Amino acid sequence: MTPPIPDPQKSGGAGTQAAASAPANVTVLDDTPAYGTHITDALRGLAATNTKRMGGDVGAQLLVASVSTITDDLQSTKRELRETRQNLDKTKDELAATRVENGVLKERLSNLNGIRHLRNIGIVIGTALFGYGLKMNSPGNIGHSLMAIGILMILLSWFAGPGKLKS
């Protein structure tokens, strides 16, 4: 027989549960003292209990010492490799950011060169209009208008466009 299903109004929960706070920063170390030393520990145990089968006291101690040294070197090499990989990842990220910034600056520079040509053309046309307006400057002619348009084009060409590049 199955137990009766409780009424939803009387579910047994008070409804006062809250979300957990942010988890604590926990650092897990891969290179704890016992990490990767299983063979060394086994050899130490064999050397302590049965040295005759390992070549006597001297042979057993030499074997344990050499394996311990190799194990320590391996752990230190793994630690250095992990640090080098972290530095490599950091350097890759910096390189990517620098490449993006370099691309943006190249694009700005090419746009600036294009605008420079337009500004130079505006100065030339404005100067020509101003000079032609001076030549035609007589009552009833459009000389004053051409001079004004020429001065306006020269001023716009000098001061318009992007300013200095922002870093």
Residue 26 in 3-state DSSP? coil
Helices (H), 17-161: 38-49, 56-135, 143-159
Q: What distance in Å separates the CA atoms of residue 140 and residue 136, rounded to the nearest whole number?
A: 10
- The model's pTM is 0.45
Q: What is the pLDDT of residue 81?
A: 96
Picking from 125, 108, 124, the residue whose alpha carbon sits closest to that of residue 161 is: 108
Mean pLDDT, the chain cut into blocks of 10 residues (167 residues total): 69 67 62 63 77 75 84 91 95 95 90 82 91 78 86 88 56
Q: What is the pLDDT of residue 164?
A: 54
Q: What is the pLDDT of residue 134?
A: 84
Residue 14 in 3-state DSSP? coil
Q: What is the pLDDT of residue 55?
A: 73
